[in-house]
Amino acid sequence: MKSDHVEDATYLAGLVATGAASPDELLDEALARVAALNPALNAVVMVQEATARAAIKAGLPDGPFKGVPFLIKDLGAEAIDFPSNSGSHLLRDTKYDYDSTIFTRMRATGVVTFGRTTSPEGGIGPVTEAAVYGGPTRNPWDVRRTSGGSSGGAGAAVAAGIVPIAHGSDGGGSVRIPASSCGLFGFKATRARFPDGPASGEGWAGMAIDGFLSRTVRDNATMIDACVGADSGAPYVAPAMEMSFSDAIARPPRPLRIGVCDTTFTGDAIHPECQTAVHKTAKLLEDMGHHIVPALPAADHSGMMAAWTKIVACGTALWINATLEAKGRGFQQGDVQGVAESALRLADGITGAEYLAAVNMVHAYGRQMAAAFDDYDILLSATLAEPPAPVGRFTHDRDDYEAYRVGAGGVFEYSPFCAVFNASGQPAATVPMHWTEDGLPVGVHLAAAYGADATLIGVCSQLEAAAPWAHRQPQMLEKYQANQHSG
């Protein structure tokens, strides 16, 4: 049965604060949903109920999400109490002797972390189909479709109502792709807005960043506010915010110039449903008083993606080689899946000078995109070039990493918008503004100038108020709730 209110993290924390529910009761319900829904999804892994119960018993921090069940991605967010696979057999059950700064800050909000969510091996790809989990992660709206990647487990878990918000990360769209695929809100902040320490100073030459997938904008804003800020020793920091994210969603932005692109950024056609989502959203923004202008950002998009592909290949080689060195052995067939192995081979042929040239290309691209934003405050496009792909289309069991990314029918054709803003470092978000006749969610993508996170999330909040989406639920969740009610 549908609720007459949105049970987001803010709402659940309110129940705990008033005594209407206890953290243990909310954890009971989250675990019951894992038992009932996760077998069809394969989204939640490494469940540690005892760790979660112990945290509740010890006393939770008095943060904004005190008592709310929470999941962290099985990639990054290193934590002493939560071993990780990072989507790979080679890294199975990796244990940590430290807590990452991002995990420490998430925990301080009072959330009850009880497990991890699936990720593709090494975080590469727009789907989550890692062999270490025994099968693909599926979309709650249609289990024949992907939930996206690389935060695909997080997207599926939030869309299925297992948790109201989950941790993710985004190096080429890995928060926004699954959020779009699963009908959720996902926000990628300006480069270096979140801490990367103590394990590293940056990920993928600064293109990777943590983030969150949520049902509501307010939950995302609250969690971002709790986690932003450089950690000690960070190599660089994001520009200072003019206001908090939570303040930004409470203050409607001034009338803005909205650049609208209903093709790819190179002018190629996108799926009609994605184009419809863009047009609907543009009309809504115009009705709000924003000024709509056509846009096609002039930048070397194909050159950037070629550079992105080299940088990520080198990042893949780094973790594979470091793991093998720690294990004291050489590479063995079957250590990693085909996409990661072929990325390793590509990296072996990239010289140091070629790697630095790729980084320079990405930096030059950021300047090109900054110039494009001289003409508008927000750039609106689709998030993906088509609705969520069928499971298996972007399987990692293939031996052609470079073609997988930038070849015909590859990832960049499917997701031509997201990695753009990892390369440029600009803030970007996906907002669930459209559903197809078959019930598949289609997100729209909004990006702002470097450092203008407050403006961007303010526009997202405006859209949420004008066309609410959080009441929409997949049938599997509705059936579960109906069974609970009848029982």
Backbone region of residue 134 per phi and psi (left: phi > 0; alpha: psi in -120 to 50; beta: other values) = left
Pair of tokens at residue 138:
């599926």
Contact between residue 388 and residue 395 where contact means Cβ atoms under 8 Å apart: no
Residue listed under structure tokens 């997100």: 443
**Among residues 73, 169, 180, 342, which one is catalytic?**
73
**What's the per-residue H, E or C state across 221-277?**
HHHHHHHCCCCCCCCCCCCCCCCCHHHHHHCCCCCCEEEECCCCCCCCCCCHHHHHH
Residue-wise burial string across 344-356, b where 16 or more C-beta atoms lie within 10 A, e elsewhere = bebbeebeeeebe
Contact between residue 36 and residue 46 where contact means Cβ atoms under 8 Å apart: no
**Among residues 84, 150, 214, 461, which one is catalytic?**
150
Quick check: is 66 catalytic? no
Quick check: is 150 catalytic? yes
Pair of tokens at residue 1:
């049965």
| 3-class secondary structure, 257 | strand
Contact between residue 200 and residue 206 where contact means Cβ atoms under 8 Å apart: no
Pair of tokens at residue 447:
């990006």
Quick check: is 310 catalytic? no
Question: Dihedral through CA 135, CA 139, CA 145, CA 148, nearest 10?
Answer: -80
**Among residues 147, 174, 181, 461, which one is catalytic?**
174
The catalytic residues are 73, 150, 174
